[in-house]
Amino acid sequence: MTLCIMRSVHGIKFVTAPILETDKITHAFLTRIGGIDGRNEDRLENIEGNTAKTSKVFGFTSSKLITVNQVHGDDIVIIDGKQSTAKGVCADAITTNLKGVPIGVLTADCLPVILFDPINTAVGIVHAGWRGTLKRIVSKTVSVMNKRWGSSYNQMLAGLGPCVGECCYNVGKDVVERFRTEFSDSRDFIKSKENEWHLNFKRANYNQLVFLGLLKKNIWVSRYCTSCRKDLFFSYRRDNKETGRQLSFVMIREGI
């Protein structure tokens, strides 16, 4: 499922997943358009300025947006009545069932994944680089949602947002061997092209979700490559590490 909806509100351009278009949640995979288009976008003051602008568009205050210190690991933060913040926490995924609490990740080639349990009304968001993908961060987040919120695998919805595509993401032989050791289906998402190895983030994480029990019809995959589309996205690899970050977020709406 690859149909993308590109929207523009007050000059901010963002992508939404049709499968996640519901009155229960608000979500978006933001582009570079309308935010702060500058170097070192991930500096705290720039992120706060950017989220203040986007928060106004999406109906929540920037102070409510929960993010984590992303470290390319497999730790997951649960936001519930006991824990209401993740400030200073090193992790790469967040899940919550609280209303009016936006959770987000920042990416510039890595894969942002939004998860939604429409039955128990719970959400999750994941930052998956190659290290996180190797550690099965997406699968582990879904499993945490299953245990914590009672989310059923065959009823969960997943949106895989814009990231660097197989076309632009070549990796070393050492990375290839690590994936081959960990995944029996690695041939499905690692391809040899012109004496280089290319990794398909979206396919690798899609396969993890299907293997876990999510239905193929319940998984949406963005068609955008962040490296190819300089007009729309920041790219860590394309811009030689000197780049900004895109915010992706999901929030359970209040009053539902």
Non-local CB neighbours of 220 within 8 Å, separated by 6+ positions: 1, 2, 3, 17, 18, 19, 20, 157, 158, 159, 160
pLDDT at 204: 98
CATH number assigned to the domain comprising residue 177 = 3.60.140.10
pLDDT tens, position by position, 195-244: 899 999 999 999 999 999 999 999 999 999 999 999 999 998 898 777 78
CB-based contact 155:146 (threshold 8 Å): no
What residue numbers bound the domain in which 43 lies? 5-252
Query: Nearest 5°: CA angle at 52, between 67 and 80?
Result: 35
Residues 249, 79: Cα–Cα separation, whole Å:
14
Average pLDDT over residues 103-132: 97
pLDDT tens, position by position, 145-203: 999 999 999 999 999 999 999 999 999 999 999 999 999 999 999 999 888 999 999 99
DSSP state of 53: H
pLDDT at 28: 95
pLDDT at 232: 93
Number of separate domains in the chain: 1
pLDDT tens, position by position, 59-117: 887 778 899 999 999 999 999 977 667 777 899 999 999 999 999 999 999 999 999 99
To the question of pTM greater than 0.85 for the whole model, the response is yes
Average pLDDT over residues 120-128: 99
CB-based contact 164:226 (threshold 8 Å): yes
pLDDT at residue 41 is higher than 50: no
pLDDT at 245: 87
